[in-house]
Amino acid sequence: MSRLQGKTIVITGASSGLGVEIARQAAAEGARLVLLARRLERLESVKASLSLAFSADVHIYSVDISQKAEVEKVFSHLLEDVPQIDVLVNNAGFGVFNEAHEAKWEETEAMFRVNVLGLISCTQMTIPHMKARKSGHIINVASQAGKMATPKSSVYAATKHAVLGYTNSLRMEMARDGVYVTAVNPGPIATEFFTTADLSGSYAKNVAKWMLKPEKVAQEVVKAMGTNKREINLPKWMNAGSLIYTLFPRTVERLGRKAFFKK
């Protein structure tokens, strides 16, 4: 029997991309799924697919996580429908790549509301239940951009720096109650993310050969569920660059400036 058999896994941003792939692989392990996203029709399609392929127990809820009242309402309902939350995967997020002086305020505010405040809101609704049971796992999808910011992603990088700061603090707090907290820091993933982030298509084209497959990232996330893993960093070479950056920031910024602008 799989270690995820019968475990309840809540995934935000579960209507496409990485969220769908995490759901698919968790369903294959026998998990009960609670899928959250704005697009109900996409969620219904995902549910039908997973139910057919794996006979999975799938619950779906339409929610805009940038709206705290919606998050509170949906989590209240889902906690009535499932016995408990064993794993929360805060996957929802988006980015828009622009130079700082060109960033639109409404996009800046939206990124913080989804990437940071939405993540915090979902986590706050989950924490009391995990603390009461003295078990659980919170997985926050951040980014390598949260470790090393580059040009044309100042706002997006700021949101992911915030996610990492929140996650690192939360990890220490929740350890007292036996709850695991993991940060996921992927590089660029071949998903719909870039249809919003990169309207010109230039960044996706420039980094195409280095893009991660969502299946690979999801595999690492699902493998870590229920384990005390601090971080998942992909790809390894990019994470090595982030580590070097912490030691020699001026040198990395000088030598990598030309490459960093290829967004």
- Annotated catalytic sites, by residue? 156
Contacts of 87 (CB under 8 A, 6+ apart): 7, 8, 9, 10, 136, 137, 138, 139, 225, 226
Angle between helices 40-54 and 17-28 (to 10 degrees): 30
Q: What distance in Å separates the CA atoms of residue 120 and residue 247, rounded to the nearest whole number?
A: 30
Q: What distance in Å separates the CA atoms of residue 225 and residue 31, rounded to the nearest whole number?
A: 11
